[in-house]
Amino acid sequence: MASTLIQFRIEKDEKQRSSQILETMGLSLPAYLRICMIRLNKEKGIPFSMKLDDRIPEEGTGIELPS
């Protein structure tokens, strides 16, 4: 099977904290991202709950919170 390279930017601190958590679980960051993409494809959607909280979004984001 052919593979492809994906690159993206993230804050250094976020990457370090994520890597530390995954290391305690015996996973590397690339392995975790592969797992997420496989689950996304199997479930045909994001494999975890995504919820809006009570924070006010930044102006101009187009996000409206429910009343």
- pLDDT tens by residue, 42-62: 999 988 877 766 565 556 556
> Residue 29 falls within a domain, yes or no?
yes
> Residue 34 falls within a domain, yes or no?
yes
- Scored b (16 or more CB within 10 A) or e, 46-64 reads eeeeeeeeeeeeeeeeeee
Considering the chain, what percentage of its residues have pLDDT values greater than 70?
A: 76
Domain extent, residue 19, equals 15-43
Rounded CA-CA distance 1/33 in Å is 18
Rounded CA-CA distance 28/31 in Å is 5
Q: pTM here?
A: 0.66
The domain total for the chain is 1
> Residue 56 falls within a domain, yes or no?
no
Contact yes or no for 66/52 (Cβ under 8 A):
yes
- pLDDT tens by residue, 8-29: 999 999 999 999 999 999 999 9
Residue 65 has pLDDT above 60, yes or no: no
* Confidence class for position 63, pLDDT limits 50, 70, 90: low
> Residue 23 falls within a domain, yes or no?
yes
